[in-house]
C-alpha cells in the first residue's frame, strides 16, 4: 500500500486508537500473530502506553570475560571501558532527531540491565516515546519514579559488563519473538507490545478506527 500520510500524521492517529483495535486490524489483514511480542514482554508499571517508530539496537553475547579487579577504582575504570563500547549508540541518538522513536533492543533475553534510571532519563529528554528490550532493565524503582516508558522481558540488578557487547544499530532485529525493522511502528500498553510494519500501518489504522467506532456505538463509555 502506498503511503499517503506523513509519519507525524500516522503516529498521531495511531495513538488515538486502542492497541486491541490495532491488533484486530492486523488480524483482518491476515497478519495474525505476525507482530505480537511474547507475553513475557511487560511494562515496568501499570498504565504505560506509547507508540512510535522503531530505532533498533542489536547486542551480542560478550566475546570476552570481565577480569577480577583488585580495587573499586580498577572496577570502575574497567566497567567504564566496557560501557563506553556498548553504549556507543548514545552518540547516534544524540545526533539524530529521535522524537517519536521507540528504542527496540535485541539482547536475546540476557539478564543484563542495558536500561536503567540514567539512560532512560536521557531518552525522555531526547523526545523518545519509549524503550522495549528483550532483556534487562535495572534500577526499576528509580525508573518508575522518573516515569520511564519501558517494557522488558527481564527485571534484573545486573550490569551489562561481562554479559553483552555492541552488535549494530538500525538493522533488523529479533525482539521477543518478532522481527523488527527500523521504522516499524511499535505500540505498547498494559496488554503488551505490537509491531506494525510501516508498509501496512495505514491500512491497519483504517480498520482499527472503524472497529473502535463500532465499539463506541455499542459502549458509549469508550
Tell me the domains of the chain and their CATH numbers: 1-34+197-222 (no CATH), 36-189 (3.50.30.40)
Cβ count near 121 (within 10 Å) = 15
Q: What is the mean pLDDT of residues 46-59?
A: 98
Strands 50-61 and 164-169: antiparallel
Cα–Cα dist 174/58, whole Å:
9
Q: For 12-40, how does the pLDDT look when each residue is reduced to its tens digit (9 = 90+)?
A: 999 999 999 999 999 999 999 999 999 99
Q: For 62-71, how does the pLDDT look when each residue is reduced to its tens digit (9 = 90+)?
A: 988 999 999 9
Please check whether residue 66 is in contact with residue 161, taking contact to mean a CB–CB distance below 8 angstroms.
Answer: yes
Mark out the alpha helices in 4-138 (DSSP H runs).
Answer: 7-14, 19-28, 72-86, 89-95, 117-126
- Model pTM? 0.93
Q: Which residues pair with 185 in a beta bridge?
A: 53, 196
pLDDT given for residue 222 in this prediction = 65
| Residue 4 pLDDT exceeds 90 | no
| CA angle (42, 36, 11) in 5-degree steps | 85
Amino acid at each position: 500500500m502506498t503511503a499517503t500520510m506523513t509519519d507525524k500524521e500516522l503516529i498521531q492517529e495511531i495513538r488515538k486508537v486502542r492497541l486491541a483495535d490495532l491488533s484486530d486490524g492486523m488480524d483482518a489483514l491476515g497478519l495474525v500473530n505476525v507482530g505480537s511480542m511474547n507475553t513475557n514482554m511487560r511494562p515496568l508499571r501499570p498504565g504505560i502506553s506509547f507508540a512510535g517508530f522503531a530505532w533498533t539496537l542489536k547486542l551480542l553475547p560478550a566475546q570476552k570475560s570481565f577480569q577480577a579487579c583488585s580495587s573499586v577504582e580498577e572496577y570502575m575504570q574497567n566497567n567504564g571501558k566496557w560501557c563506553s563500547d556498548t553504549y556507543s549508540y548514545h552518540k547516534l541518538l544524540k545526533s539524530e532527531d529521535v522524537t517519536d522513536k521507540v528504542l527496540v533492543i535485541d539482547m536475546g533475553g540476557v539478564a543484563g540491565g542495558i536500561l536503567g534510571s540514567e539512560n532512560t532519563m536521557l531518552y525522555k529528554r531526547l523526545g523518545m516515546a519509549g524503550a522495549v528490550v528483550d532483556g534487562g532493565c535495572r534500577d526499576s524503582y528509580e525508573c518508575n519514579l522518573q516515569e520511564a516508558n519501558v517494557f522488558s522481558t527481564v527485571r534484573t540488578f545486573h550490569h551489562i559488563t561481562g554479559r553483552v557487547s555492541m552488535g549494530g544499530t538500525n538493522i533488523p532485529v529479533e525482539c521477543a519473538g518478532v522481527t523488527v525493522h527500523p521504522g516499524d511502528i511499535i505500540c505498547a500498553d498494559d496488554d503488551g507490545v505490537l509491531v506494525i510494519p510501516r508498509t501496512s500501518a495505514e491500512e491497519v489504522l483504517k480498520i482499527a478506527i472503524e472497529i473502535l467506532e463500532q465499539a463506541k456505538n455499542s459502549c458509549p463509555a469508550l
